[in-house]
């Protein structure tokens, strides 16, 4: 398909943000203190993660992107605000003194992730309530809403957010987490990965059984569509009109972290640009194939997508 111009696409992202830190180094010996590798760190890097990675992916494609979230009044929160500003994302960030900004620290040696260390606390109820008021104001100036749920507490009021978006006829895409999908009732599209879907719907032995479970969940939650991302099996879109399957692209998988962020960001930008759901899924599959060939939470540009389209 011919790619539409993404410059006029307006995307609002809300959800759990985090700071992805990377320590890169060489591994040349095993520690004498314990049977673990010793990493001599030679380079460090910071990237926006979680909903912030969704926002930077949408911005990388050329869309006008706003991000609404909560962060701590700390150094990591400052870093996130700076990084997102540099990615041309309009950020409305509620800063909470009682909150530590979520950090995922990854130690990389020989181009492989050796260790991940997480630092996190849940945001306070008061901060989240004030975020809801801002969400309602920002809805008027957007074409598509993406709710990125990482289970960190930033979307406690997600049911009200979906209702507000529906009342203004704004499509709502949700990247879900956990086993309580009732909170996503009425969304336009849900994008669980294979493991997340199995956690909610149970296992299956055939494509027919998978389709039956997917369509049942779609009806139960009053969704327009359900997209199950299936790793090496590609991704499958379930709608009332039927099923659309996209094969995974045959390329070397370097790193799958953040691939789900790229998928939902691409879907949002394409839908905001007037693409149909199957067209958006096709492009999201291409974007996923590109991003898994990069290390860490990465982005896909419009030029890269055009080269694959």
Task: Quickly state the pLDDT bin for 296 (edges 50, 70, 90).
Answer: confident
Q: What pLDDT is recorded for position 124?
A: 80
pTM attached to this predicted model: 0.94
Per-residue model confidence (pLDDT) at position 181: 95
pLDDT at 291 over 80: yes
pLDDT for position 285 = 94
DSSP line for the chain? -PPPP-TT-EEEEEE-EEEEEEEEEEEEEE-SSSSSEEEEEEEEEEEEEEHHHHHHHHHHTT-EEEEEEEEESSHHHHHHHHHHHHTT-EEEEEEETT-PPPEEEEEEETTEEEEEEEE--PPPHHHHHHHHHHHHHHHTT-SEEEEE--SSSTTTTHHHHHHHHHHTT--EEEE--SS-GGGGTT-SEE--BHHHHHHHH---SSHHHHHHHHHHHHHHTT-SEEEEE-GGG-EEEEETTEEEEEPPP-S-----TTHHHHHHHHHHHHHHTT--HHHHHHHHHHHHHHHTTSSSS----HHHHHHH-
The mean pLDDT value for 159-163 works out to: 97
Mean pLDDT to the nearest integer, 279-289: 94
pLDDT exceeds 80 at position 152: yes
- Judged against a pLDDT cut of 90, whether residue 223 lies above it is answered with yes
> Residue 133: phi, psi to the nearest 5?
-65, -40
β-strand 189-190 against 225-229: which pairing, if any?
A: parallel
280-306 b/e (C-beta count within 10 Å ≥ 16 → b) = bbbbbbbbbbbbbebbbbbbbebebbe
- Does position 2 have pLDDT exceeding 80, yes or no? no
pLDDT above 90: residue 142: yes
- pLDDT band at residue 130, thresholds of 50, 70 and 90? confident
pLDDT tens digit sequence for 71-120:
999 999 999 999 999 999 999 999 988 899 999 999 999 888 899 999 99
Supply the residues annotated as catalytic: 261
Instruction: Specify the pLDDT at position 4.
Output: 77
Q: How many residues does the chain have?
A: 309
| 250 pLDDT tier (thresholds 50, 70, 90) | low
Given a cut of 90, whether residue 31 has pLDDT beyond it is yes
Taken in order 291, 293, 297, 299, the sign of the CA dihedral is negative
pLDDT at 278: 95
Contacts for 33 with CB less than 8 Å, ≥ 6 apart = none
Is the distance from CB of 215 to CB of 254 less than 8 angstroms? no
Instruction: Please give the share of the chain, as a percent, with pLDDT higher than 90.
Output: 77
Q: List Cα–Cα distances, 286 to 64, 72, 188, 304, in angstroms.
A: 21, 35, 22, 9
Q: Is the pLDDT of residue 253 over 70?
A: no
The whole-number pLDDT of residue 128 equals 81
Smallest CA-to-CA distance from 263 within 154, 153, 105, 146 is with 146
Q: Which of 54-68, 121-135, 149-163, 248-262 has the lowest mean pLDDT?
A: 248-262
Specify the pLDDT at position 298.
Answer: 84
């Amino acid at each position: 398909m011919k790619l539409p111009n993404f410059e006029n696409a307006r995307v609002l992202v809300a959800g759990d943000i985090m700071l992805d830190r990377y320590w890169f180094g060489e591994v040349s010996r095993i520690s004498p203190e314990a049977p673990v590798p010793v990493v001599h760190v030679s380079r460090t890097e910071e990237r926006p993660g979680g909903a912030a990675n969704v926002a930077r992916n949408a911005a990388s494609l050329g869309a006008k992107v706003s991000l609404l979230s909560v962060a701590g009044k700390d150094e990591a929160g400052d870093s996130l605000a700076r990084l997102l500003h540099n990615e041309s994302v309009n950020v409305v960030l509620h800063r909470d003194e009682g909150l530590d900004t979520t950090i995922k620290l990854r130690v990389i040696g020989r181009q492989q992730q050796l260790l991940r260390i997480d630092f996190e606390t849940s945001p306070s109820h008061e901060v989240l309530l004030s975020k809801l008021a801002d969400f309602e104001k920002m809805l008027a100036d957007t074409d598509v809403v993406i709710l990125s749920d990482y289970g960190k507490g930033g979307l406690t009021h997600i049911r009200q957010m979906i209702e507000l978006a529906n009342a203004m006829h704004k499509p709502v895409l949700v990247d879900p987490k956990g086993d309580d999908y009732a909170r996503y009732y009425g969304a336009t599209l849900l994008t669980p990965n294979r493991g997340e879907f199995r956690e909610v719907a149970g296992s299956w032995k055939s494509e027919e059984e998978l389709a039956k479970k997917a369509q049942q969940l779609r009806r139960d939650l009053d969704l327009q569509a359900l997209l199950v991302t299936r790793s090496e099996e590609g991704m499958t879109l379930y709608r009332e009109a039927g099923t659309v399957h996209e094969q995974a692209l045959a390329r070397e998988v370097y790193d799958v972290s953040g691939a789900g962020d790229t998928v939902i960001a691409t879907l949002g930008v394409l839908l905001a640009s007037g693409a149909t759901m199957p067209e958006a899924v096709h492009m999201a599959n291409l974007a996923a194939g590109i991003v898994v060939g990069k290390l860490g939470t990465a982005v896909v540009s419009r030029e890269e997508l055009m080269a694959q389209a």
